[in-house]
Amino acid sequence: MTPRMSHRDRLLAALRRQPVDYVPCAPFFNPLTPEQRVGRVWQFPFGPSEQEMAEYCVKALGVGPAVALPLGDYQANFFMSLYYRPHPEVTSRVWFEDGQIHKVYRTPAGDIRAAVRYDERWPHGLDVPFWSDFTIGHFTRPWLEDERDLECLRHILRPLDGRDELERVRFECAAMRAVAERLGLATIAHVGLGLTGAMQLCGSQQICMMVVERPDLVKAYLEFEHGRNLRHIEIACELGADVIRRNGFYETCDFYSPRMLEEFLGPLLRQEIEAVHGAGRLIGYTVNTGLMPMLDYLASLDFDCLLHLDAAAEGCDLAKIRDRMAGRKSFWMGPSNVHFLGGGDPEWPRRALRETFDVLGKRGLIVTPSPSVHSIMPWNSFLAMVDEWKKLR
């Protein structure tokens, strides 16, 4: 029998595919923005803060989520803008005109601008953020169209090397690390967006055309972001992150061929993996759909874990994914939130979790709804999954 483990030790052992006392449940949560919740009921029995979420999960449910260190594209598993450090001369202006929201940054390299159509589905108020899934369908002018835009971004999206920024990040990470230590939880830092971020800057159709028509621009952007990622990985590891999560949500064959993924991303991802492993930490990779054509490519990347796979997506064969990874990667996943949590029938997530256990087994499995629980989804569906996990673990 494996001795009783803390939530942290259990999660880290499972990520390494080592023996655990039982399969960990480490869910991710997404509160959505206030605009996205209009007309919907807040379902979480805790408020929109990492500490409240962690306290409730441990004390009321007996599950052990990883506590997010506020460094990357998500804070506390909750959406926020990436931290960045604009050049002191950078200024910005945002305004509403002719049914569109416009935003411009003035930089030493010139102006960079974007515009989006405003309607009742726009979730960001009077702003046009750099990284949001919800800009993609609203763009009338995306952020990144040419080399001049990229030069402007270099003056805005600088790594967190300024004294004030580093002091703030050290303080905020120390506060969240203290929460994790008190509750016996692991810590996670979300670093890097790659082609996911490029799509959010360019739009989905635009980025798919750019990798064919303007590959040098896309590669230059990815190299630029890669430099930030390496520095932020270094900072995250210094500040106590147990796990680094690299976001590859839209870096899949829903949009690109395996050959394109290897050409544009493969060498950069391998350097980021090496940086994390060199610091003695673990690294996971978020992929959700469009996986089946890219299994050989995924197997060639030495990520410790694949996160948030949607086993209910059309064409997904979880057994084939398991077999191709050949016991070299753990899986941090569970019932599809869209297919099995949103409908309100508690039997659906129970059945989906049983199927996950049947296919993947217990070694190297960490349970979460894939990719996360949303604040407007029926809470009873999530509780049903947790109850089923306690029977199966």
Measure the CA–CA gap between 152 and 150, rounded to whole angstroms: 5
pLDDT tens digits for 226-244? 999 999 999 999 999 999 9
pLDDT, mean over the chain: 94
Does residue 82 have a pLDDT over 80?
no
**Residue 74 has what pLDDT?**
43
Instruction: Output DSSP code: residue 83.
Output: P
Look at the pTM and tell me if it is higher than 0.85: yes
- Residue 330 neighbours by CB under 8 Å, 6+ apart: 14, 15, 16, 17, 304, 305, 306, 364, 365, 366
pLDDT value of residue 111: 98
Comparing CA positions, the residue from 218, 217, 312 lying closest to residue 265 is 218
Q: Give pLDDT tens digits for 308-328.
A: 999 999 999 999 999 999 999
Residue 359 pLDDT: 98
Instruction: Give the helix/strand (H/E) hosting 168.
Output: helix 163-183
Whether residue 375 has pLDDT greater than 50:
yes
Per-residue confidence (pLDDT) for residue 256, from 0 to 100: 97
Contacts of 381 (CB under 8 A, 6+ apart): 340, 341, 342, 343, 344, 345, 346, 348, 349
Is the pLDDT reported for residue 80 higher than 50? no
pLDDT over 80 (residue 72): no
Query: What digits encode the pLDDT tens for the residues 16-70?
Result: 999 999 999 999 999 988 878 888 999 999 998 899 999 999 999 999 999 999 8
Which structural domains are found in the chain, ordered by start?
A: 7-85+158-392 (3.20.20.210), 86-143 (no CATH)
Q: What is the pLDDT of residue 39?
A: 86
pLDDT in tens, 181-217: 999 999 999 999 999 999 999 999 999 999 999 999 9
At 77 the pLDDT is 36
Task: Specify whether the CB–CB gap between 23 and 14 falls below 8 A.
Answer: yes
Using CA atoms, how far apart are residues 239 and 170, in angstroms rounded to an integer? 7
Alpha helices (H) in 34-162, listed in sequence order: 50-56, 147-156
pLDDT at 79: 40
Residues 94-153: pLDDT tens digits? 999 999 999 999 999 999 999 999 998 898 899 999 988 889 989 999 999 999 999 999
